[in-house]
Chains A and B, each alone.
Chain A
Amino acid sequence: GQQVMQIPQYQHVQEGEDFTTYCNSSTTLSNIQWYKQRPGGHPVFLIQLVKSGEVKKQKRLTFQFGEAKKNSSLHITATQTTDVGTYFCAADTGRRALTFGSGTRLQVQP
């Protein structure tokens, strides 16, 4: 079945530092989605990338979809304590269900 690998598993940064999480698939993806899950909460949709090489920005967050549509990244500039949580990438299996990456847990030290 489709597998989505995500690295790193965990990152601890000082407030103000940048953060990046990477997602890789064994197969070409039709699209990729990113979610954020706060501790004790549920996943919240952040964005969907569809086009090869696509780059989208949401304030301090920059999302990229690789040219081959097999990898993606989320970069946060100048992290804040409100960025704490686990970031998941998720790939559409083709049945509208999602295969989630393993997630990257971000801890921000004030």
Chain B
Amino acid sequence: GAVVSQHPSRVICKSGTSVKIECRSLDFQATTMFWYRQFPKQSLMLMATSNEGSKATYEQGVEKDKFLINHASLTLSTLTVTSAHPEDSSFYICSASVAGGPDTQYFGPGTRLTVL
């Protein structure tokens, strides 16, 4: 089946630093990847849609200058949390669907970010 990996799985950083999270589709190509954020005991909230070779589409209320998304290839999207603050601490999950395939989304294992 389609596998999506994320790196790192867990990161702790100081306030004001930037953190990069990678999302890779391991055995398929994904023209579109999605980034979600999940706070404890809450649902997943879509942050942005990452399109290969073009700018990401951000959801309302998500600061594009704070959450930088780059989709450099058909198998890699990165999310950089710039100048992270404690309120950015969350579980960040990416997903991807197979290019030209059905709508089923495959989720990465998530990255737990803790900002001190």
Report A's interface with B, CB cutoff 8 A. 1, 31, 33, 35, 41-45, 48, 88, 92-93, 95-103, 105
Contact = CB atoms under 8 A, between A and B. Distances in A.
B43 A31 contact: no
A84 to B, nearest CB: 15
A88 B34 contact: no
Contacts of B104: 33, 45, 48
B96 to A, nearest CB: 10
A31 B34 contact: no
Interface stretch (B14-22, B72-80, B106-114): B106-114
Contacts of B11: none
Contacts of B45: 100
Interface residues of B, number: 24
A45 B34 contact: no
B108 A45 contact: no
A101 B109 contact: no
A101 B107 contact: no
16 contacts: A1-B60, A33-B105, A42-B107, A42-B108, A43-B44, A43-B107, A45-B107, A48-B104, A92-B103, A93-B46, A96-B34, A97-B34, A100-B36, A102-B42, A102-B43, A103-B43
Interface of B: 32, 34, 36, 41-46, 49, 57, 60, 93, 95, 97, 102-110
B12 to A, nearest CB: 17
A96 B104 CA distance: 9
Given A42-B93, A42-B109, A101 B103 contact: no
A95 B103 CA distance: 10
A98 B43 contact: no
Contacts of A45: 104-107
A88 B103 contact: no
Contacts of B102: 48
Contact of B32 (A42, A92, A96, A100): A96
A98 B107 contact: no
A96 B97 contact: yes
